[in-house]
Homo-oligomer: A and B are copies of this chain.
Amino acid sequence: MDSLSRKKQKATSIKDIANQAGVAISTVSNVINKTRFVSAQTEQKVLDAVEKLDYRPNIIARGLRTKNIRTIGVIVPDISSSFFSQVIYGIEEMARKRNYTMILGCTGFDFKEEIRITNKLIDSFISGLIFFSGFDNYEFIKKIYDKNIPLVILDKDLGDVDIPTVVIDNLSAIETGIDYLYKYNHRKIAYVSFTKDKQTTVRQRYEGYLKGLKKHNIEFDPDLVLMSEEMRLHETELSYEIVREFLKKGKIPTAFLTVADVFAYGVLRALKDEGYKVPDDISVMGFDNILFSQFTNPLLTTIRQPKRLMGNIAMNLLLDIIENKEIKEKKIIVPTEIIERESVSYAKN
């Protein structure tokens, strides 16, 4: 017999335990779930039977009754990216802590796939959903929310709606970045970003850029804005190419502010290949503070997002909602901070 095609042997059921212990199945259920008092003596009989027959309750059968199998769905564009995987670490960590299971679905930044997977998850058996989307998709989110499925939106500001959300303050974060650069005497600050149209997150950062410039009376120069949606999939490579092209045109800024550390890596490399020294000639500032930013050359000055914490908070909020705990804030804003390292210094004028 091919040992690969073996069938699982039939598991022992609550009925077997009841027989073995000589009690009713409800009694077994009651000792297992501690759902009503059972005399020490009967309890022991049940426990012995459980031990002897190596019984574990069938979660599916339980789920069919209780409509809850303590499982949370998580939708994310790309689990292999450093930012997402660190947030997911925080999500899973909290799920495990609170005895829930996490189902992960990746969308590959594909809009249709995102909808398909989400619907599939909802139709399956989850108790709630963390939506960590690649796109603005308010209509769709609203539809899910209106189905009364417990839901937390992660990393996307929906504005003034009722849907539970955990975000950072993207606008202020970038604005603070500009403040920082300004303090270091930078007045010609290039901005490297995804295109701003498809995602609130990205748009808010762009607004932060504009607001920061305005605040310090720096004139906005559209030539200094480097945007591409293609970078979504080839982050560092493309920012490298774009910045290299840009530098060849000769309009040289004193600093680059990027919307993701992975872009900053491309900028760093482009600068090096074009013969500029960082930070002596040009400064570079990232966003995210992913792990490798502490090992670039020079070490990357960046704006930190507390990724693991964001994951923790999102899952905690969702489970609080599911378990009907009191929710103080439906919109949680987690703080960012500037991590000063080596890639920014005083601008020479």
Query: Are the C-beta atoms of B69 and A125 separated by less than 8 Å?
Result: yes
Q: Tell me whether A59 and B8 are in contact in the complex, defined as CB-CB below 8 angstroms, given that A103-B103, A236-B295, A269-B295 are known contacts.
A: no
Contact segment of A88-96, A169-177, A218-226, A241-249: A88-96
* In the complex, per-residue mask of A60-83: 1 if CB is within 8 Å of any chain B CB, else 0: 110110010101000000111110
Closest to A80 in B: B89
Which residues of chain B have C-beta atoms less than 8 A from A308's C-beta?
Answer: 80
Q: Select one of B6, B58, B102, B148 contacting A148, CB under 8 A.
A: B6
Shortest Cβ gap from A328 to chain B (Å): 11
Shortest Cβ gap from A270 to chain B (Å): 11
Q: Tell me whether A124 and B265 are in contact in the complex, defined as CB-CB below 8 angstroms, given that A8-B147, A147-B8, A148-B7 are known contacts.
A: no
Shortest Cβ gap from A297 to chain B (Å): 4
Q: Tell me whether A125 and B272 are in contact in the complex, defined as CB-CB below 8 angstroms, given that A292-B265, A327-B4 are known contacts.
A: no
A330 at the interface (CB under 8 A from B): yes
Task: Give how many copies assemble into the complex.
Answer: 2
Query: Are the C-beta atoms of A106 and B123 separated by less than 8 Å?
Result: no
8 Å CB interface, A133-164 against B: 147-149, 162, 164
A349 at the interface (CB under 8 A from B): no
Query: Are the C-beta atoms of B117 and A92 separated by less than 8 Å?
Result: no
Query: Are the C-beta atoms of B124 and A101 separated by less than 8 Å?
Result: yes
A86 at the interface (CB under 8 A from B): yes
Query: Are the C-beta atoms of A61 and B59 separated by less than 8 Å?
Result: no
Q: How far apart sit A269 and B293, CA to CA, in the bound complex (Å)? A: 13
Query: Are the C-beta atoms of A88 and B80 separated by less than 8 Å?
Result: yes
Query: Are the C-beta atoms of A125 and B59 separated by less than 8 Å?
Result: yes
Closest to A127 in B: B8
Query: Are the C-beta atoms of A4 and B96 separated by less than 8 Å?
Result: no
Which residues of chain B have C-beta atoms less than 8 A from A294's C-beta?
Answer: 236
8 Å CB interface, A291-333 against B: 291-292, 294-297, 308, 321, 324, 327, 330
Q: Select one of B58, B92, B96, B104 contacting A92, CB under 8 A.
A: B104
Query: Are the C-beta atoms of B96 and A149 separated by less than 8 Å?
Result: no
Q: How far apart sit A272 and B295, CA to CA, in the bound complex (Å)? A: 11
Which residues of chain B have C-beta atoms less than 8 A from A123's C-beta?
Answer: 56-57, 59
Which residues of chain B have C-beta atoms less than 8 A from A58's C-beta?
Answer: 64
Which residues of chain B have C-beta atoms less than 8 A from A272's C-beta?
Answer: 297
Which residues of chain B have C-beta atoms less than 8 A from A102's C-beta?
Answer: 103-105
A204 at the interface (CB under 8 A from B): no
Which residues of chain B have C-beta atoms less than 8 A from A7's C-beta?
Answer: 148
Closest to A84 in B: B85
Q: How far apart sit A89 and B67, CA to CA, in the bound complex (Å)? A: 30
Q: Select one of B78, B96, B236, B291 contacting A89, CB under 8 A.
A: B78
10 A-B contacts (beta carbon < 8 Å): A8-B67, A8-B148, A60-B63, A82-B85, A82-B291, A93-B106, A96-B117, A265-B295, A296-B297, A297-B297
| Across the A-B interface, the 3 shortest Cβ-Cβ residue pairs | A80-B89, A85-B85, A297-B297
